[in-house]
Structures are given as C-alpha cells and as structure tokens.
Amino acid sequence: MSNTIETIKEQIESNDILLYMKGTPRMPQCGFSSQAVQALMSCGERFAFVNILENPDIRAELPKYANWPTFPQLWIKGELVGGCDIIVEMAQNGELEPMVKDAVSDAEE
C-alpha cells in the first residue's frame, strides 16, 4: 500500500470532521469547495481540511480510495458523507448540523 493511502487513512481517522477541498476555507479555489465550506461553517463547529491543490498525490489517490471521483469530499467520523451537492442539500434540509454537532460532542467525551 502506498504512503499516500496511509496518509489519507491517518487524516480521516484523526479528524472527526475533515473536508478535502481545493484551496482553504478562507480562500477556496473552486465554487464547489466554497459552497461546501459555507455549508460546514454554518454548523458553527471547527473542522479540519486538506488542500488537495497542495497535495497532488492525495488528489490523485483519494478518489480511488474513497470510490468518489470529485472534490470536495466531506468525511465525518471516518465515513464519506459526500461531495458538494450532498453537503449543500444536507445543510438545507437540516441534516448536516446535527451530524457535525454529534461528531464534535463525541470527540469531547
């Protein structure tokens, strides 16, 4: 197994809320990442992120590992939630915030 896959697994395991995105939350580099960040930030909790533009090996390997071809990718408690459309839809229908809050409260216990 490649070191990149090991790195991805470690990132996912060590962060309860993790967004793989293009750019950073303050400076998203694509519209989809920007929408995903806004949806996540509206939940009011801190989250980790990986800028895939600065990590081309992760950008190449993560879609295969996740079996999900696009970015951004939101992972909560080690499970892939989905990409931009799913994140935004969940935020709009009220599913995202409780999921994020649960992940944070579990981490604090």
Whether 25 has a pLDDT exceeding 80, the answer reads: yes
Q: Which residues contact 8 (CB under 8 A, 6 or more apart)?
A: 58, 61, 62, 65
The Cα–Cα gap between 77 and 32 comes to: 22
Q: pLDDT band at 105, cuts 50/70/90? A: confident
User: Does the annotation list 49 as a binding residue?
Assistant: no
User: Does the annotation list 30 as a binding residue?
Assistant: yes
> b/e for 26-55, b at 16 or more Cβ within 10 A?
eebeeebbbbbbebbeebebebebbbbeeb
User: Does the annotation list 59 as a binding residue?
Assistant: yes
CATH code for the domain of 11:
3.40.30.10
The answer to whether the CB of 82 falls within 8 A of the CB of 50 is no
Q: Phi and psi of 25, rounded to 5°?
A: -55, -35
User: Does the annotation list 101 as a binding residue?
Assistant: no
User: Does the annotation list 47 as a binding residue?
Assistant: no
The answer to whether the CB of 21 falls within 8 A of the CB of 71 is yes
Residues 29-75: tens digit of each pLDDT: 999 999 999 999 999 999 999 999 999 999 999 999 999 999 999 99
Whether 108 has a pLDDT exceeding 90, the answer reads: no
Q: What is the pTM of this model?
A: 0.94
The answer to whether the CB of 19 falls within 8 A of the CB of 49 is yes
Q: Residue 2 corresponds to which tokens in the numbers above?
A: 């490649």
For 29, the domain range is: 3-108
Look at the chain and report how many structural domains it folds into. Answer: 1
User: Does the annotation list 71 as a binding residue?
Assistant: yes
